[in-house]
Amino acid sequence: MTVSIVVVNWNAGAALDGCLESVAADGLAGRDVVLVDNDATDGSTARARVRHPWARVVETGLNLGFAGGANRGAAAARGEVLCFLNPDARVLPGAVQALVDTLERVPGAGIAGGGLVDEAGAWQPGAGRFAPVQHLVLDTTPGRLPARLRRMPYRVDWVYGTFMAVRRDLFRQLGGFDSRYFLYGEDLDLCYRAARLGSRTIHVPAARAVHGTNVSAAQRFGVGREAEVVKGEMRFYAARRAPRDLRLFRAVGACKFGLKAALAAAIGRRGAAASYARVVRACVAFDPLAADA
């Protein structure tokens, strides 16, 4: 199966160069690599044109968000598999091919997500659950302890869009990412719609990517980034699940992050406390009607 790598860039700075260098180091420079310029203003796309001329640049003319930008890149891609890679992530050798191989070998697999580590090599989450309470309670540090020990591919509800591969025919059938999600929630939504069609999502721990600081999101949202993640998830529950699931998510989420805010404040972590407090406010103030617009 042929593969196209799609990187959506908005002001990723030097991280973009590291991302594309990792693609080239893995012998993928001769493959179809599509760099989507989401109206970056930091010169990162211009530098990439010079340093990595093998990457085809697609310009959007404005910041469409990840979902919209990824859809533009997918439309220009040529491969049978679309591999979406964040500009602040670097693939390790063989990672992209491992995702492609999984989609070829696992019956019914339509989406595959890679394992993520931070700059120091420490494990990061790369998959989650659909059900609201399980997601909020089990997709946490203690709840993910078994996942840290996994080495072989295994079925999950959804994988992070940081580093994920999707069969092109499935992506087209789904109509791509839902562009109502500007950033966060679009990967969850895509995997859910795929599951409704009977397609499996597989997490592949051995297909590793180093995920650095969320450069673009940090610039756009600052201390409010965590709240934006939760807003994206609430948009998903408002759009795709029963009303009770959204109510559960909001109630449990407000309690969970309220407790985290209190604990952070008690030990003097003011930045974390402010971030968690924003999540609580987002859970309380979320408007399902506005989210579905």
Give the DSSP letter string of 209-275. Answer: EEE---HHHHHHHGGGHHHHHHHHHHHHHHHHS-HHHHHHHHHHHHHHHHHHHHHHHHTT-HHHHHH
Write down which residue in 213, 228, 259 finishes a domain: 213
Q: Note whether 68 and 126 are same-domain residues.
A: yes
Q: Note whether 240 and 165 are same-domain residues.
A: no
Q: Note whether 233 and 206 are same-domain residues.
A: no
For residue 119, pLDDT over 60 is answered with yes
| Tokens of residue 117, six digits | 């580590």
Provide the domain limits for residue 229: 219-291
CATH code of the domain covering residue 163: 3.90.550.10
Number of domains in the chain: 2
Q: Note whether 186 and 224 are same-domain residues.
A: no
Q: How much is the average pLDDT of 5-22?
A: 96
Q: Note whether 200 and 255 are same-domain residues.
A: no
**For 232-281, how does the pLDDT look when each residue is reduced to its tens digit (9 = 90+)?**
999 999 999 999 999 999 999 999 999 999 999 999 999 999 999 999 99
Write down which residue in 213, 229, 256 finishes a domain: 213
Write down which residue in 213, 245, 261 finishes a domain: 213
Q: How much is the average pLDDT of 208-213?
A: 90
Q: Note whether 206 and 254 are same-domain residues.
A: no
pTM of the model: 0.95
Q: Note whether 264 and 140 are same-domain residues.
A: no
Q: Note whether 142 and 260 are same-domain residues.
A: no
Q: Note whether 196 and 227 are same-domain residues.
A: no
